[in-house]
Structure 1
Amino acid sequence: MKIIISPAKKMNIDTDSLPHEALPHFLPEAKALLGKLKSMDYHELKKLWACSDALAKMNFERLHTMDFENKLTPAILSYEGIQYQYMAPGVFEYNQYAYIKKHLYIVSGMYGLLRPFDGVAPYRLEMQAKLSGDAYKNLYGFWKDKLAKKLSEESSTIINLASKEYSKSISNDLPKNISFITCFFTQLKDGKLIEKGTECKMARGEMVRFMAENNISDPENIKYFDKLNYKFSDKDSNKNNFVFIKPRNQLK
């Protein structure tokens, strides 16, 4: 069983807490993307990144000093988004690190797939970014079916905790024999189940922690997740979609 999660825009450098153990599997592809980005001027990159001047300047400087092999941060400690705050990998115990090392992948626009202890450098490149080259119109075209092939070679079951932006870079190309289970974290509003972005990120992080703490290897046991007051809804779920609902009296 493999678990996929999204990265976060905000990244940090932490070369002291834990050492990185390997370089990313798709490093040649990442180097090709870096070359493409370096060929673009500041204004082109700012438009691609869709960010403020301050962030664009910081990432422009990072881009032109980027080193894929030195002063690297383990991927699991490099992202600072809400999902990672609720996962809190910085305080994992040894067996929880062992669990994510075995089961977890971070889907990345720049690196493709990252294992938790792959060494990474800070970057800004979302999967939906409109980056085009001679042989591709966007990053989905760049990665093609490489990510799906890699995962399907390793497991017949994938637990999807990634946003649609990232998960579709894999789900669209998976063989039919692969079980792809997406977790939805919902609330009932006006008779409909809806997802709220921030709360979904919180729940995805909590779900990774829950799975690591309980050493879950059977997807059926995911249904016992009850963090942040979510409960599994059997009637709203099926074999490919696990729906968790926050009770009405818990809504903010």
Structure 2
Amino acid sequence: MLLLLSPAKSLDYETPVPPALAARATRPLMVDQAAGLIDVLKHFNPAQVSSLMDLSDPLAQLNVARYGAWSRRFTDANSRPAALAFNGDVYEGLQASSFDDEDWAFAQDHVVILSGLYGVLRPLDRLQPYRLEMGTRLPVGTSKDLYGYWGDTLAAYLNQRQARAATPVIVNLASQEYAKAALRKSLKARVVECVFEDHKNGQWKIISFHAKRARGLMARWIIRQRAQSVAALEAFDSEGYAFQPALSEPDRLVFRRQLAD
């Protein structure tokens, strides 16, 4: 069973990485493809990056500098493990900084972070700072955008990771923007979606902030429980969420919790 996560726009390169963990960091698997994108991006000026990605001038300038500094050589000085570098709502729920050695080993074997630049990342894969969302309409060669650039590459990787599994399963905890790049017709695995709803102001609904955090909570729960079956996910109960069998389907698991109004 593999878990898909989205990356985050916010990054943390300030919090120190424990030396023992830095020593276990791994090299990303699709560096050649990432370098191909960098070769395109490094020719963009701040105004072009701002227009392409709808960024403020300071953010555009920051990312132009990042593209210029990006290197095929990944070191402690220019990179850190992806699960510690991303710093958005999902990763607040994941709380990777609290993992022990066994948690990291399980996560490395079961978590796949999708990325517009890197394609796929394992939690311990070294990440150099960047901004490139999967939905960006960046023309590369004959491809009009990143979905075209990555094509079936990500699905093929997931197939390869689960080639020996009798019943391959993907638990999709990624946003639609990123899942769309991996969950293609060529994917052989069963795909299970997790839906997180909160009750607020008299109705049940998906609240973006809470749902993103809940995806991280679910990934963390799976890692800490060493869960390896869809049935096991029904026991997820972090921060008040509970499985709703009457609202769920075999490949769409619904979890709800009551928020204070």
Q: TM range, normalised to the smaller chain? A: over 0.9
**Segment drifting more, 238-247 vs 161-170:** 238-247
CA distances 1:193-234 after superposition (whole Å, capped 9, x unpaired): 531110011111111111111111112111111112111111
For residue 124 of structure 1, give the secondary structure of its aligned residue in structure 2: coil
- Give the equivalent residue in structure 2 for 1:142: 149
**Segment drifting more, 7-16 vs 64-73:** 7-16
Is 1:82–2:86 an aligned residue pair? no
Matches within 5 A, 1:120-199: 120-155=127-162, 156-175=168-187, 177-188=188-199, 193-199=204-210
- Give the equivalent residue in structure 1 for 2:165: none
Q: 1:2 Cα shift?
A: 0.6
- Contact kept, 8 Å, 2:46 with 2:64, in 1: the verdict is yes
What CA distance in whole angstroms lies between the structure 2 residues aligned with 1:70 and 1:211?
Answer: 29
- Contact kept, 8 Å, 1:68 with 1:120, in 2: the verdict is no
Matches within 5 A, 1:73-112: 73-112=80-119
**Segment drifting more, 185-194 vs 148-157:** 185-194
Give TM-score scaled by structure 2 length.
0.89
- Contact kept, 8 Å, 1:23 with 1:69, in 2: the verdict is no
Q: 1:106 Cα shift?
A: 0.4
What CA distance in whole angstroms lies between the structure 1 residues aligned with 2:38 and 2:124?
Answer: 21
- Give the equivalent residue in structure 2 for 1:52: 56
Q: 1:88 to 1:190 in 2, by over 3 A?
A: closer
List structure 1 runs of 4+ shifted beyond 6 angstroms: 189-192
What CA distance in whole angstroms lies between the structure 1 residues aligned with 2:216 and 2:7?
Answer: 11
What CA distance in whole angstroms lies between the structure 2 residues aligned with 1:190 and 1:79?
Answer: 32
- Contact kept, 8 Å, 1:210 with 1:225, in 2: the verdict is yes
- Contact kept, 8 Å, 2:4 with 2:114, in 1: the verdict is yes
- Contact kept, 8 Å, 1:68 with 1:121, in 2: the verdict is no
* Fraction of identical pairs, as percent: 31
- Give the equivalent residue in structure 1 for 2:7: 7
Is 1:212–2:219 an aligned residue pair? no
Q: 1:240 to 1:190 in 2, by over 3 A?
A: farther
Name structure 2 gaps, 5 residues minimum. 163-167
